[in-house]
Chains A and B, each alone.
Chain A
Amino acid sequence: MKFDGTDFYAALIHELKNNLGVLSMTLERIPLLGEAEHDASVDSARLLCQNVVDRLHQALLIYKAANQPIHPVLDAYSPHDLVQEIAASARALAHGRLHVETAIAADTPVLWFFDRDLVEMALVNAIHNALAHARSTIRIEAEMEADCLALRVRDDSPGYPEHILESVADGRPYAATGTGLGLQFARLIAQSHDNRGRSGELRLGNDPGAVFSLLLP
């Protein structure tokens, strides 16, 4: 049998993800005992595990998309369902530690065109940030803004540090670690969505907590 590097790589990733999946589900089954120290450790182990899972998704996408632009696969999806889905994931991750709210503005259309997996990946990233920094509440919102669907993740943290806000504003690359990498990725995802000459955008702001907004044309 001849050795095929790509197949081997794919098989390895497959197995890794299986293991990680089982690990993540195992962690989900550890009961909380009401003891601060135990519960906090379990909580952070779960979060960290889910974080690794989400980073692995990103890593794979970057690996595949190396040297070529991201091609979103557009279809019609319900922004309402998307917000509820993201909120459900956020609640599962928060495990009651934080309050997760949703707010869908009346003008949010029943259907919008986007690549659900990419958009979800970007929003889940923002959820991870919010989980790490929020004091008590995370809010996931949808509304229309300048003919774009705006999807937001809002928290009551002290807000994004100045250097991150600046680098997003001038579109400079971030330091390729942690939050920075995730945000850069979210920006690429937003920009890959275009419609009639208009590109999507990532906007970060403080109001007063961190506000992460994806604008999809």
Chain B
Amino acid sequence: MSQPPAPDSDTFIDYGALRALVVDDSPGMRNALRLTLSNFGITKIQMVANAAEAIFQIKNRSYDFILCDFNLGVGRDGQQLLEELRHGNLIALETVFMMVTAESYYEKVVATAELAPDDYMIKPFSAELLCSRLTGILLRKRAFRDVYWHFQAQDLEASIAACDALIHNKPKYAVDALRFKGELLVALGRFEEAEALYQQVVSMRAIPWARLGLARSLHLQKKNEEAEEELRDVLERAPEMVAAYDLLSDVCLEKKDVAAAQEALEKGVAISAKTVRRQQKLGEVAYGNGDLDTARTAFDNVLEKGRHSIFVTPADFGNLCRVQLEQGDLEAVADTLKKNKSTLQANPEGQLVMAVTQSLAHTRTGNLSEAAKALDAVASLRADGTRGDAQLMLDLAGACMANGRNEEADAVVAEVARNAHDSEALLAKAKRLYDEAGRTDAGASVLASATGDVRKLNNEGVVLAQRGDYKTAVEKLLTACNEAPYNPRILMNAVWVILKYIDQVGMNETMIETARTQLREAERQAPGHPRLAGLRLQMKDVETRFGIQRKAVR
């Protein structure tokens, strides 16, 4: 191999300074890859055999280049590793992540940009090809330096301006810059502009990611008919494009066409069964549709395929058990709990799932003393502040009522209702529980008082804010937050009025810290909610204008 060009221009790459991480389960391949890299001057190479070791290394020091085999034997695969790295913000945008795969069909399976590697190599490949691909990506990332810098500083406006500069000055990177800009516009909630941008790319050429972006920005503007039309056409031409099925299911759900949503997810799963979140969604949608067999298979797959995924939570065990219980398959429930005992016992949330499920199973077999024991265990976990997902908590309320523990049931339902005062589906399910227990009136009053208090405080706060009385509005909404500490709508409203208040009277450190905490909680409770990006931006704006010091570290 020839030496790299002299450091004369912006095309020089100092491979000797590049820090590389090779992830491959086969020692022979690792060694061969090390030799390949050293062929073009990369000498700072760390080699690991699996995802766990890779994460350990990456947490310890930063790498410029990660070369990872998709198939890593037992444990997480390369894609799961990448998702975990991106999800946990463990690698910077500047880091090059290249996936090595045995087949060329890999790309279609992960067409979403945020979960895709920078490039992938179909093996076996030559040192020359790897070198020329890597050089291309490093130069592109160098051109995107400003875009990334502003993005990582959460200054999305400046990041967009940097994209525009690339679009105008560097034609070679214009399409990449448009792609990045499109995602920024969506993150900022500027869906109309995003639509126009994707339309512009599509008019150059109907490339799949641009059509998908177009459909997404239509969907976010609630133009679901147009979005569906676009997606159906994309899928006709590229039937393997799984990301399009995911989006199609969202579109159908919003159109309340639940059968079509399930069908779309089933097609996606048929192409790529490994994605845990697709299986989770299929399970939820199928369960909602009363298709227990499909739901069970999907939830089974979540646990099976996602054994090493960070996206599996205790709620997934609860979901599977719920379906098995509703099918009357108590043996399967016992089996699920037994097989996953050590996982579930590892944390209080898992213990809660286990105890709730046991209480339901024992109630069903009429073993009321065991059911009571399980419910006592639940009560003590709850007393320590352990919470489960809303579905699990409603299951718990049902078990409590079946065992004559009405007061506990009402408290649980009230908590769920306060934190989801605007979720029709959950409130309807709660109402059904009371109907089945013959306590329709009691239920109506529990639900009315729980949602009523929160709704009243929230509405008063919003009205006061609209009248400009931010001070009292903040008081009302903070009280609402105390009542319903996990209610995303309330949390976001509280953040909004606090920022307005500071805007009016000036900086208040305690207030802004409260707003930050609540925004974080809202992000946890409703990840990807369309209002979040706007609130983050307002927060940033207030911080900048009142000269918060944290920006100084440049």
Bound: A91/B125 CA distance, A: 14
Bound: A22/B27 CA distance, A: 11
The closest CB in chain B to the CB of A17 belongs to: B102
Q: What 0/1 readout, one digit per residue, does chain B (105-117) give for beta carbons within 8 Å of chain A?
A: 1011000000000
Residues of A within 8 A of B240 (CB): 71
- Within the complex, the shortest CB–CB distance from A102 to chain B, in Å, comes to 12
A-B contact pairs, 28 of them (CB 8 A): A14-B102, A17-B102, A17-B123, A18-B26, A18-B29, A18-B102, A21-B32, A21-B123, A21-B125, A22-B28, A24-B124, A28-B127, A57-B122, A60-B104, A71-B238, A73-B107, A74-B207, A75-B175, A76-B175, A76-B205, A78-B136, A85-B132, A89-B126, A89-B128, A111-B171, A111-B172, A113-B204, A113-B207
B19 at the A/B interface (Cβ < 8 Å)?
no
**Quick check: A92 and B128 within 8 Å, CB to CB?**
yes
**Quick check: B28 and A74 within 8 Å, CB to CB?**
no
A81 at the A/B interface (Cβ < 8 Å)?
yes
The chain A residues found within 8 Å of chain B, CB to CB, are 10, 13-14, 17-18, 20-22, 24-26, 28-29, 50, 53, 57, 60-61, 64, 71, 73-76, 78, 81, 84-85, 88-89, 91-92, 110-111, 113, 117, 195
- Within the complex, the shortest CB–CB distance from B304 to chain A, in Å, comes to 12
Bound: A53/B131 CA distance, A: 19
**Quick check: B102 and A85 within 8 Å, CB to CB?**
no
> Number of contacts between A and B (CB, 8 Å)?
96
Residues of A within 8 A of B123 (CB): 17-18, 21
Chain B, interface size category, equals 35 or more
**Quick check: B129 and A89 within 8 Å, CB to CB?**
yes
B237 at the A/B interface (Cβ < 8 Å)?
yes
Residues of B within 8 A of A85 (CB): 128-129, 132-133
User: In terms of DSSP, what is the predominant structure of the interface of chain A?
Assistant: helix
B103 at the A/B interface (Cβ < 8 Å)?
yes
Residues of B within 8 A of A25 (CB): 32, 35-36, 124
- Within the complex, the shortest CB–CB distance from B173 to chain A, in Å, comes to 9
Q: With A18-B26, A20-B124, A60-B103 given, can you name 4 additional A-B contacts, CB distance below 8 Å? A: A13-B102, A71-B240, A85-B128, A88-B131
Residues of B within 8 A of A91 (CB): 128
Residues of A within 8 A of B206 (CB): 74
Bound: A79/B172 CA distance, A: 10
Bound: A110/B172 CA distance, A: 5
Q: Which among A22, A26, A81 is the interface contact of B132 at CB below 8 angstroms?
A: A81
Q: Which among A18, A20, A71, A92 is the interface contact of B237 at CB below 8 angstroms?
A: A71
Residues of B within 8 A of A22 (CB): 28-29, 32, 124
Residues of B within 8 A of A61 (CB): 104
**Quick check: B124 and A88 within 8 Å, CB to CB?**
no
**Quick check: B239 and A92 within 8 Å, CB to CB?**
no
The closest CB in chain B to the CB of A14 belongs to: B102
